[in-house]
Amino acid sequence: MTRVGVVLSGCGVNDGAEIHESVITMLALDRAGVDMVLMAPNIDQLHVINHYTESEMDESRNVLVESARIARGKIRDMAEVHTSDIDALIFPGGFGVAKNLSDYAMAGADCSVNPDVKRFATDVHKAGKPIGVICIAPVMFAKILQGAGDSVELTIGTDEQTSSDINSMGSNHISCPVEDIVIDKKNKIVSTPAYMLAQRISEAAEGIEKLVKEVLAMV
C-alpha cells in the first residue's frame, strides 16, 4: 500500500497547522485508499495564540502534542521517521509552518528551517519521491532547497512579498488561483494556495484535492 507522510505543525491556523487544510488532506488521502504516516517535530511552539481573541496567551505548548489533536493520537515524532517509511510527503499550511517548522514569520527570506524538517524533506526530495506543499509551506520548501542547485516552480497564490521571497531563495514563483495547482514535474513538487487565497473551505478543498491526486499520480 502507498504510504504518504503528512507533516503537521501544531493545531490551529495562528500558531500551528491549519486545521481545515490538514483534515482535507487527510480525507483526500483516505479516500484514495493510501496509508498515512502523520508526523510532527517534538519541539515547543513559538507561542500560543487564543484563536477566539487572536491575542497571545501566557503558556507553552508542544508541537507534537498539539498535532496529535488533529491526528487523533496516531502520530509520530518526525525525528524517528525515515525516508523509507513513506512514498510521498505533504505539508499542510498554517502559521505553524512559518513559526514552528521554520522562522519565516519573523525572519522572512533570511529564515532557517527546523533541522528535523530540513533533513527529512531534503532526504525525501533527493530520493525522488513526490512532495506536496500547501498554503505558506512552499516558501519554507524554497528555503530548504536554497543552494541545492534545484530551481523549483512553486506557488503561494499571488501575495507579492511571499512570492518575491520565494524567488530570492532561488525558486520560481508561479501565480495561481485558489482552486488550482502548480506542478513541477521534473522535481516532483506540487503546490496550491489554499488559505493564502481561499475565502471558503470549499475553495481550499478544491486545490488541495487536486494536489493530493497529482502527488499520488507521481508515486
- Of residues 11, 111, 135, 176, which has the active-site annotation? 135
Query: For residues 189 and 214, what is the distance between their CA atoms, to the nearest angstrom?
Result: 9
135 among known catalytic residues: yes
For residue 115, CA distances in Å to 59, 120, 135 come to 24, 8, 21
Q: What is the pTM of this model?
A: 0.96
Per-block mean pLDDT, blocks of 10 residues, the chain (219 long): 97 97 98 98 95 94 98 96 97 98 96 96 96 98 85 94 95 97 97 97 98 98
- What Å distances lie between residue 48 and 58, 67, 113, 171, 202, CA to CA? 7, 13, 19, 31, 27
All 3 cell numbers of residue 179? 482552486
At 150 the pLDDT is: 72
Residue-level pLDDT at 47: 95
Query: Do residues 208 and 28 make contact, with C-beta atoms less than 8 angstroms apart?
Result: yes
Distances in whole angstroms, Cα of residue 111 to Cα of each of 100, 108, 133, 143, 169: 12, 6, 17, 8, 10
